[in-house]
Amino acid sequence: MKKNENSKDVYDAVADPTRRHILHLLAKVEEMPLYELTSHFQMGRTAVSKHLSILKHAGLVTSRKVGRETRFRLNAEPLQEIQDWVTYYTKFWNDNISLLNQLLQEEQNMPTVSLDFHFNRPIERVWLALTDPKKLAKWVMENDFKPIVGHKFQFRTEPNPVWDGIVHSEVLVVDQPNKLFYTWETAGESTTVTWTLKEMDGTTHLHLEQIGFENEGHAYHGAKQGWTLMAKKLDQVLAEL
């Protein structure tokens, strides 16, 4: 029989919980007769014998005659291939989890613009100001925004000697009226902007989080100051709604 066929037999043999329990029982003793094995299951000797035949075919169990009874013994060697297979994927996941932890640590160390604003307005009105392109233009910039996941759009304003005045964005999450999440790429910085809204006692609490800045340089401080100034304009826009 070919090696890959033997491997298939081993995997098939241990796929059944009854056969796994037989291996577990045999692992505790040097050998065990059929009648004693059968006493551990709610099935007859014939059914247990069929399971033992499959295990013997896979090379996981050997047997010998002692007088009129047959005694069975565990042969764990074929299980080494399964152990090797599991070990390979354990290493795969451990390596990837380590990489994920490294990325998360790097993200945590990145500067984050985190600001909170409070408006004595209904949450639906604040959501409208965040998602209606005409309202957005009054407090952020001219835009072609649509509250549709996957929609790519731009914020645009007058350029200056150090900036072309364009922000490239894509909508990633729309959870009306609780969360809005989109990319914000401009001036060599690739960041994301998340708006989280909560209404309590007639006041809408608006949290802004912009992450992805490489350092606390001009772009970071510009964003922090810019959003603070734009929030004041947002308050005026909400008053007009």
Q: What is the pLDDT of residue 104?
A: 61
Cα-trace Rg, the chain: 33
Average the pLDDT over 124-143 and give the result: 97
231 alpha carbon, distance to own chain's centre: 33
Q: What SS3 state is found at 64?
A: strand
Which CATH fold would you assign to the domain 3-80?
Answer: Arc Repressor Mutant, subunit A (1.10.10)
* Residue 217 pLDDT level (bands cut at 50, 70, 90): confident
Please spell the DSSP secondary structure of 149-198, one letter per residue. Answer: TT-EEEEE---BTTB-SEEEEEEEEEETTTEEEEEEEETTEEEEEEEEEE
Q: 68 versus 198: which is more confidently predicted? A: 198
The bridge status of strand 166-175 relative to strand 152-156 is: antiparallel
Average the pLDDT over 209-236 and give the result: 92
227 alpha carbon, distance to own chain's centre: 30
pLDDT digits (tens, 9 = 90+) for 47-58: 999 999 999 999
> What are the boundaries of each domain within the chain?
3-80, 105-240
Q: What is the pLDDT of residue 1?
A: 44
Q: What SS3 state is found at 30?
A: coil
Identity of the amino acid at 10:
V
pLDDT at 18 over 90: yes
Q: What is the pLDDT of residue 2?
A: 46
Distance CA 156, CA 170 (A): 14
Q: What is the pLDDT of residue 135?
A: 97
Mean pLDDT: which of 15-24, 82-91, 209-218 is highest? 15-24
Architecture of domain 105-240: 2-Layer Sandwich (3.30)
Q: What is the pLDDT of residue 9?
A: 84
